[in-house]
Structure 1
């Protein structure tokens, strides 16, 4: 899979990083950037080869995510949400209808999974009504709204079963979005999603999972987000020409790769703390230019701040407070 990682690194260095300042300033990721990721086959990274995907293993997914995050975090943030969906759709009743297009990037997707990842209060509820599921509730973070065709929405029933449904990314009387104002990755088109009596055809059901089963597996799903922080830290190391950071990066990466579910919160905290420290070192190395709006050091510092809280869990927060507090 080394050629896939090499493709991602080339895109990060030749396309994403050179354009990141403009993306951040404009507050929008150009469609052409995401088209380039699709043309490189990266939208199929987690999809099966049988449907045009790359069938990449976990380490390759992590390496690609890290490489792209060191180019432009907004673009990577949009792309990363998509990777969940081909993996979930594979083997489901929707595979033949959607999987090839998802892998090719002809259909692009976001996720709204809070009803599965946060036990209470229930973010989005589901009830069956004839040939449809009716959804009510909302989630504060859905990324890539202006760039996705469908959103994988988790919704829960009173008996704590999570239904994962492909919902069309179209606003209307029963589906509303409110743009979020973020300190970083504003260009990621992240919105609050609100649903009220929103009907989704039952044939858009990807799968149903008891909440307890999803919660038991959730700690093992935390690794990939750590690659975002590693990508930011690695870009800082290159810009500041601080080779000492390379050893720290290797150590944190190894810790993430070796961590089991119990160790992952601490490893994720170490990655976020490293990105935070790396941006500080870059600012000092660059000097006064680092506080000029639009300088890469300024943008990377805001991104590291964002990653201190993105995709967190209580155990990560506790570990990170201890890491930063010394």
Structure 2
């Protein structure tokens, strides 16, 4: 079962996602059939442990699936990968009623979700939570929320104004009382992720929709795992560039880039126990993606300037990974790496 999920991911990336990637980029729309194909293949449930009804994949298998789909179509993969953050949180939730009501359908892809947790990371947080009788009242701003109009539910996180704890709750991904503005964010790549900015003022999350409440320290400790998964995006792009370089006859370049990606992957795994190691490896992975895409552009020559050439899409996609799911520490590491400076 687990090996077949990896095989299905490779097949879907090569026969469905990558052949359609240029059209997705041009139209700014991911076909509904993409989501249905991923659900039918069982790929909406890969983050769920066996005891929750999931496949119980090893980390290496999850990483391979994520990298593979990222190399197929970044817009599709970036939207889909956020479902797994929600699913993992629901599967581990102490809210048994909510868990029982949602996890099975989320595994099947019948409920499709996204996350808005980045606004809880800064100090002070961009999204704030205030305790009310029977629930929480959220206010603030979430600048980048992907999947609006695609996903069914959104796991939204905010900082408790009194304790600093991080509260996460599940809301329907639609305009509702308390969501005062939804503004489309026009992206230069992966625009088909349907990313929006949310303004929140008085959004109430009742206790029966609360996924978790943890200390800020515990919340930040959990970020290493999410950061490891986000690091699959640039490495997946490198993998696609390597294959296209091989097709273009640039075998030596392809082999060299593949070797660098393999080494970074090992460092990313080691970084799960060391946040600074993980951030440096993520920065190196993003930088490698930009170099790999640049190498492919050079290999394709003049045709890579055309919107019909996948090299230009991969080059823009690589730039996307420099800022997507970033943190101030990662930003500094990337600036130092790309400018060949050290602070």
Q: What TM bracket, shorter-length normalisation?
A: over 0.9
Residues 123-182 of structure 1 show CA distances to partners (whole Å, capped at 9, x for unaligned) of: 111223222321111211111111111100112212111111001111135213111111
Q: Does 1:247 align with 2:252?
A: no
Residues 55-84 of structure 1 show CA distances to partners (whole Å, capped at 9, x for unaligned) of: 222221111110000000000001110001
Structure 1: tracts of 5 or more residues without a match: none
SS of the residue 1:42 aligns to: coil
SS of the residue 1:146 aligns to: coil
Describe how 1:202-281 pairs up with structure 2 within 5 A: 202-241=207-246, 242-259=254-271, 260-281=274-295
1:167 is aligned to: 171
Question: How far did 1:53 drift?
Answer: 1.7
Describe how 1:266-305 pairs up with structure 2 within 5 A: 266-305=280-319
Q: Does 1:321 align with 2:335?
A: yes
Describe how 1:88-99 pairs up with structure 2 within 5 A: 88-92=89-93, 93=95, 94-99=98-103
2:107 is aligned to: 103
Distance in 2 separating the partners of 1:212 and 1:49: 28
The 8 Å contact of residues 13 and 72 in structure 2, kept in 1 or not, is answered as yes
1:16 is aligned to: 17
The 8 Å contact of residues 115 and 162 in structure 1, kept in 2 or not, is answered as no
Distance in 1 separating the partners of 2:71 and 2:243: 10
SS of the residue 1:44 aligns to: coil
Length-normalised TM-score, structure 1:
0.95
| Counterpart selection for 1:129 from 122, 129, 132 | 132
The 8 Å contact of residues 280 and 301 in structure 1, kept in 2 or not, is answered as yes
SS of the residue 2:189 aligns to: coil
Question: How far did 1:238 drift?
Answer: 0.8
| Counterpart selection for 1:113 from 103, 117, 122 | 117
SS of the residue 2:157 aligns to: strand
The 8 Å contact of residues 124 and 135 in structure 1, kept in 2 or not, is answered as yes
Q: Are the structure 2 counterparts of residues 15 and 298 from structure 1 closer, same or farther at C-alpha, using a change threshold of 3 Å?
A: same
Describe how 1:49-60 pairs up with structure 2 within 5 A: 49-60=50-61
The 8 Å contact of residues 225 and 311 in structure 1, kept in 2 or not, is answered as yes
Distance in 2 separating the partners of 1:210 and 1:250: 35
The 8 Å contact of residues 219 and 262 in structure 1, kept in 2 or not, is answered as no
Q: Are the structure 2 counterparts of residues 296 and 45 from structure 1 closer, same or farther at C-alpha, using a change threshold of 3 Å?
A: same
Length-normalised TM-score, structure 2:
0.91
Q: Are the structure 2 counterparts of residues 31 and 219 from structure 1 closer, same or farther at C-alpha, using a change threshold of 3 Å?
A: same
Structure 2: tracts of 5 or more residues without a match: 247-253
Residues 290-317 of structure 1 show CA distances to partners (whole Å, capped at 9, x for unaligned) of: 0112321111111111111111122222
2:187 is aligned to: 182
Question: How far did 1:226 drift?
Answer: 1.1
Question: How far did 1:254 drift?
Answer: 1.8
Distance in 2 separating the partners of 1:52 and 1:237: 36
Q: Does 1:148 align with 2:160?
A: no
Describe how 1:59-98 pairs up with structure 2 within 5 A: 59-92=60-93, 93=95, 94-98=98-102
Distance in 1 separating the partners of 2:235 and 2:324: 14
SS of the residue 2:80 aligns to: helix
1:30 is aligned to: 31
Residues 88-123 of structure 1 show CA distances to partners (whole Å, capped at 9, x for unaligned) of: 111422111111011101001010102432222x21
The 8 Å contact of residues 120 and 127 in structure 2, kept in 1 or not, is answered as no
CA RMSD of aligned residues (A): 1.5
Distance in 2 separating the partners of 1:309 and 1:294: 25
Question: How far did 1:325 drift?
Answer: 2.1
The 8 Å contact of residues 238 and 258 in structure 2, kept in 1 or not, is answered as no
